[in-house]
Amino acid sequence: MRGRSRVFLLALVLFLALQAPASAGTKTYVIVFDGLPASPSGLLATVVTSFQLLYVLSPIQVIVVQIDESFVGVIKQLPGVLAVIPDVLHKVHTTRSWDFLELERNGAATGAWKDAAKYGVDAIIGNVDTGVWPESASFKDDGYSVPSRWRGKCITGNDTTFKCNNKLIGTGFFNLGFLASGLLQGKPPSQAAELYTPRDYIGHGTHTLSTAGGGFVPDASVFGHGKGTAKGGSPLARLAAYKACYAEGCSSSDILAAMVTAVEDGVNVLSLSVGGPADDYLSDPIAIGAFYAVQKGVTVVCSASNSGPQPGSVTNVAPWILTVGASTMDRDFPAYVTFGGVTSSMTIKGQSLSNSTLPQGQRYAMINAKNANAANVPSENSTLCFPGSLDSDKVRGKIVVCTRGVNARVEKGLVVKQAGGVGMVLCNGAGNGEDVIADPHLIAAAHVSYSQCINLFNYLGSTDNPVGYITASDARLGVKPAPVMAAFSSRGPNPITPQILKPDITAPGVSVIAAYSEAVSPTELSFDDRRVPYNIMSGTSMSCPHVSGIVGLIKTKYPDWTPAMIKSAIMTTAITGDNDSGKIRDETGAAATPFAYGSGHVRSVQALDPGLVYDTTSADYADFLCALRPTQNPLPLPLPVFGDDGKPRACSQGAQYGRPEDLNYPSIAVPCLSGSATVRRRVKNVGAAPCRYAVSVTEALAGVKVTVYPPELSFESYGEEREFTVRLEVQDAAAAANYVFGSIEWSEESESDPDRKHRVRSPIVAKTTCG
C-alpha cells in the first residue's frame, strides 16, 4: 500500500480513538528504524501493553506511535531502532518583490524569466503549511494541464466546496499528531471540522503558496495599497498544498508525513515556512523528511525562523536544506507623523496600511499612553496599550502614542479606538530599533522606529498641550538602502554543526503582498471582521517561498540538476551589496554579516546561469554524517542514506571520513581554527566549454591568511569537475578570536568571448576560539 493511502486509512481508523483524552503519560513519538520491520505493530506489542499506531512512513523507515512515555527506554533497545523522537509542536514563521529580484523591469518580464525559465512551467511546487484557499484568483486554472509524472490526489476531506484544478493539482491534510496532542479538546465543533479539510483558515499557507507559484492577477492590493499584478516566482508552475499546521501549531510528525507524501506524489520543489530548534539532525523530523526528499531529487527550501537577531537562533540548518533569511525590498508604505505648532513642527516617517485616515493637516491633541492609564492600572500597562488600560476621559479625540511589545501591534490600535482615540503612533522600544512593519491597522496609525520616536517623546514631555497629525500615502518605490536585514530574521552560527554556515541566503520577507484566506481577517485577530483576497505579511515565512519560486525556475530550465546544484546556483550568484552602493545592513544600520544573510541576497537572473556549481552527492552526505560521530563506528548512519546500488550505507570501522567542514558546500565555515586548516571543495562546470576560471580572495579575513590551490581551474567539457583546496592560516589569533568573515570568488576568463564572465562567490567564516 502506498504511504499516502496508508496515511488516510489510519486517519479514518483512529479518528474516534483520538477524541478520547490521552492519559497523563501518553505522548507521541517518531521511531526511526535502520530497516522497517515487517510488522511494526507486532514488534511494539512485544514490549508495550497499549499503543496507537498513527503513521507508517515506509519510504523512510519510520513509524509514528502514541504510547506511554514509560516505554520509551525499552523501545530504544528494540532491534533496528535508530532513534525515538518526541513529537513537538512547531510554529509557522510568520507584487513588488519580483521587480526587486530583477525578474521584471518596470513591470515587464525579463527574457530570463519568460523565455529561459518559462515562468517555471515544468515545476510542481509542494507547500507544507496551513492549507490553501482554492477560490483565490492566484490559483485559477488558465489552460494548464496536469503533468504526466504527477501521482498525487485532491483529497478534500469533509469540505464539499473545495475543488482542485489543473493549477492547484493536489491537496491533503495531516492531523493525527495534532489530534494526539490533545490540543483539540474543549474546542468548538467548527474548529474540529477545520482539521478535516485542506482549506486554509489561517491565511499563512495561501500566502506562502501563492508567493512561490501563484498565477498572474492584475490590480491586486491591500486596502488599495501597493496595487499591481500579483504573481509567484514560478507563475506557471503546478501547485500542491499539504496542510499540517493549525492555529495552535504544527505537529512534527504531521509535517514529516506530509513531506513524505509530497515526495511520493511527485513534487520537485518542497517549501516549508515552519520549523523549530533541534539538538541534532536525527531528532529533527523536518531534517529527516528533507533528507529523504533530496535523495529523491526534490529541493527542500525552509525558513530560517523569526527569532533574530539573537545569535545562533537559526533553525532548519541541515546542509541538505536551503535555509532562507528575510530582508527588505525597495518598497515601503509610508505614514508621516507631524507634531508641534504650525511654525515649529517636526515630521517623522513610519509605515502603515491603515484604511482609516484623518483630515489632511488637521491637528489633534496627542498623549503619551504612559500618562493615559485608567484608574488602578499601572502605567507600564498603558504604555503598551493593553486592553482596558486606557482612560477614555484622557484619550477621547486624541492621537495616542503607544509602545511596541507583548500584545499585537494592531490590537493596540483597537484599544485606542475603543477608548475614543482618533489615531495611534506605535513607537519601537530600543530592542526593536529601526524595524518597522506596515500593518492593516483599524485606526489611523503609523509605526515608527525607535530613533525617530525619541524626538516625539521629547516633544510630548516638553509641552502641556502637544498636538499633531498623521498623514498616510501609497506605496513608495526605490527606497534606499535595500535590502536591509529584518530584525526578526534568525541568525547564525549553526547551533548543530557550526562547520556549515547558515542561513544560506536571504530574500524579501518584509511587507510582502500575496493571496490570503477569506476565512480570516487580515490581522488574524478575532475582533477584526474585515476580509481581503490579498494581504501583506512579514517573516522568514515570506522569504522562503520567494526562493522556492526561483528553485522552480531553475528546475524548469535544468530538469536534470540535483538539489545541491540548484542550491549552489542560488548561493554562489548572490550579492552582498545594497542599492545604495554599500553593504547589506542589519536593523541597527551596521553592516550585516553572513550569519544574517548567508551567501547574500538572492539574484534570480544570475542563478539561472551560474557557470560553476558545487554538487553534493549521497556519498558526500554519508561521509558528513559519519564524520559527526567518529568514535561510534561501526554504526548505521543516523539517517537512511542509499548508495548507487539502492542499498543502505553505513559508517565503517576505522574508515576516514574527513571533517564536517569538508562537505562539498558552497560556503566555508571553520570554527575552532588552530594554526592552520585546509578544506576541500570541488566544482562542476555547467557553462560553455572550454573555459578557465581564476580565483581571488575578494574579502580578507582579519587575522587569517587565505590561500586557494590551484589558483586556476580549466574545464574542457560541460559537467566536468575540478577539485581545489582552501587553506586558512592564523596570523593574528586575537584578531580572529571572534568570528571573522571573508570570501573567495572564481571569475571566468574567456579570450574568445570577453562578455562571458561568470563569478562564483563563496563566503568564509572562521574563528580561533572554540565553543
CB-count burial class (<10 Å; 0-12, 13-18, 19+) for 157? buried
- Single out the catalytic residue among 511, 541, 543, 548: 541
Q: Are 147 and 124 in contact (CB under 8 A)?
A: yes
Q: What is the DSSP letter of 555?
A: H
Q: How far apart are CA 222 and CA 441, in angstroms?
A: 12
**Using an 8 Å Cβ cutoff, are 680 and 659 in contact?**
no
Angle between helices 563-572 and 540-557 (to 10 degrees): 110
Residues 6+ apart with CB under 8 A from 651: 622, 625, 626, 629, 632, 633, 634, 635, 636, 637, 657
Of 204, 207, 225, 546, which residue is the catalytic one?
A: 204
Quote the CA–CA distance of 123 and 238 in Å, as a whole number.
6
Closest to 412 (Cα-Cα) out of 352, 452, 401, 467: 401
DSSP, collapsed to helix, strand or coil, labels residue 427 as strand
- Residue 425's DSSP bridge partners are 401, 446
Question: Which listed residue (99, 122, 129, 586) is catalytic?
Answer: 129
> What is the DSSP secondary-structure string of 276-331?
---SSGGG-HHHHHHHHHHHTT-EEEEE--S-TTSTT------TTSEEEEEE--SE
327 is catalytic: no
Report the distance separating Cα 692 and Cα 748, nearest Å: 6
Residue 136, all three cell numbers: 483565490
Catalytic status, residue 129: yes
Instruction: Say whether 207 is catalytic.
Output: no
Angle between helices 285-295 and 563-572 (to 10 degrees): 100
- Sheet with 704-709, strands from edge to edge, namely 612-613, 676-685, 721-730, 704-709
> What nine digits make up the cell of 72?
520509551
DSSP string, 440-458: --SSEEEEE-HHHHHHHHH
Number of H helices, E strands in the chain: 19, 41
Active site residues: 129, 204, 541
